[in-house]
Structure 1
Amino acid sequence: MKFNRFTDAGIHTGVAYALFAAVLFGASTPFAKSLVGRIEPVVLAGILYLGSGLGLAVVYAVRAIAGRHRQRDVAGLTVGDLPWLAGAIAAGGVAGPVLLMLGLTKTAAASASLLLNMEGVLTSMLAWFVFRENFDRRIFIGMVLIVVGGALLSLDGSGALGVSWGALAIIGASLCWAIDNNLTRKVSASDAVQIAGLKGLIAGTVNLSIGLAFGMSLPAPLTTLGAGLIGFCGYGLSLVMFVLALRHLGTARTGAYFSAAPFVGASISMVFLAERPGPLFWFAVALMGTGIWLHLTESHEHEHTHDLMEHTHEHSHDEHHQHEHDVEWDGREPHVHPHMHVPLTHSHKHYPDIHHRHDH
């Protein structure tokens, strides 16, 4: 049996979410770079995430007041989700942004933007070898090209064979976010606004508290407001889109599409910050671009079996959701309730989303 209509739509939706997340986050890097030097790195990281959390809290409240989402229409976080979310916040919300801000003090914004491609690579490595997502030769070659491009960008700017501390800090931030991405995938079926909002509020409060405890001061009100707006768009809304993409594409593929983010940041850096990178930069761009293209043109289709599974998330009654309702249903779609997937074997194009975690 072969199904394509709904599954292809889900993949296309996931790709759109991932690319939108990439554009928002990529644009935030050069703007954050413009604030480095005026705000201490730890304080800046705190303001960025707090702006994200506060902005999404407003979105959450407006959504609830407007009645567009009744409680039963949102798959909220459960007690079982909290350890995964706590780990994601510690790695990606606290450690990651601090390392990035420190790295930006020593690295040009364009190079820093492309170095962040390492997040996609490290995300995929963890997804493949720790969380057991499938991959093939095409995907592996693409990741190798991205790694080589990142290595070229991390060479010390003086021409020595060493690696700059700024580049190491940015790669460290990428590793933190890679851990964050894989842990967030575990809770991606839940409300994306709630997940991203909590991460922003908690991570922002922790980072800002650390900075103030060490005697660092807040910047001028207008500068603080500007940094908060950057955080809301580049960290908050971007993370909401990223979580939605995880549902459809799985961790490694979402990370690959998200690798478009650094190119957005590099382009903005060259236009607005008047940065002029050298030939090595453009060679790295070519390698990374080829690697991303290999990911974007992947097609994964084969016969597979869905095992018996029960979970809760927003869904419509497509091929994967043919179930009865325990309570009276008004026919509205999409909707949210606990439901069971019966064993099913079929073939269609798919990525390792929340329904396709099978062996190969």
Structure 2
Amino acid sequence: MSEIATDPATIERWKATRRDELDAEAIYVALARSEVHPERQELFTQIAADERRHADHWNARLLEVGVDPGPADPSQRARILCRLAGDFGDTVVVPIMRDRELLSTEAYLDESGVFSRDEERHARTLAALVGDTRGEPIGRALARLQRGRAAGGNALRAAVLGVNDGLVSNASLVMGVAGAGVASEDILITGVAGLIAGAASMAMGEWISVQSSRELSERELAVEEAHIAASPDVERAELALVYEQKGLSPREAGQVAERLSADPVTALDSHAREELGIDPDELGGSPWVAAGTSFALFILGAILPIIPFTFLSGNAAVGLALAISAAGLFGIGAAITLLTGRSVLRSGTRQLLFGAAAFAATYGIGALFGTAVG
């Protein structure tokens, strides 16, 4: 038995990798079950089989050195993602899994490097299949999955942050007013006002942010289109340099750039993605959708701490508002683990502690202010 095989850190890495592979298998099986298109269902089934093969490899390595691999059941995070796959299909889950494929550490763990090549193939196959079934060119689908397709993961991240903003800001406002000794009816009015004001502010800010970004991107595209029309040779050479930097030989890069530059529409699309980092089809998304989503998510979080004041008063209402807010914060922290893969308990507790600090600070300031004014 080699020294590296008995090294505790190596054993733990093997066990963690096996667990990650088993989780991935379960998630891809759930995606396959939720898929209505046969070719996509087959894709997810094949990837799940690869993940099972990888897990069996690490299971065998652990048994070889006399280590119990542990249970084969999916982790809590995997079970949540399986549920999301059943409810929403690939909208949210596939971008998260694609990040997992690209960031996999199996290139370090697998001496042959076969597994890392499998993960890269998985990511590219996912991109190709998504593009093919939606009538997009494969290259455009790959680019969209590299930047824009991650919008599924970004949407989940934005949802978590939006609810968190609403909950923390309004709960802090309610606690501050409660600390000042204000009547429960006034606390309810204050909380509702804070909810509406905060949601409106979030929506307006999001609209301005997305709209400004779209207008900037449109201007950059117009400038680039003008450059392509005025100096096609120069722009073609610039595109060739981009592909040289990506690893192509000068001859190959020149051939690719020449083919892409033959059509003005394709040329602009290529320059936008490769030079400007802009997806011409998306331009950052709709500002109205972003504003409406921010408004709704903020309200979802902000309404929690004021619910008790609709049917309770005094310390009972304050206590229940704290309990609901604490549960909401822990839930938000747990939801974040869908993106980070960290411990639910650790993430939820961290979120709870941060929120509790904000609540305590505003309650204390409210109490001091109420005493001074009173």
TM over 0.5: no
TM-score by length of 1: 0.29
Which one has the largest radius of gyration? Answer: 2
TM-score by length of 2: 0.28
More strand per residue: 1 or 2?
A: 1
Higher relative contact order (CA 8 A, sep 6+): 1
More helix per residue: 1 or 2?
A: 2
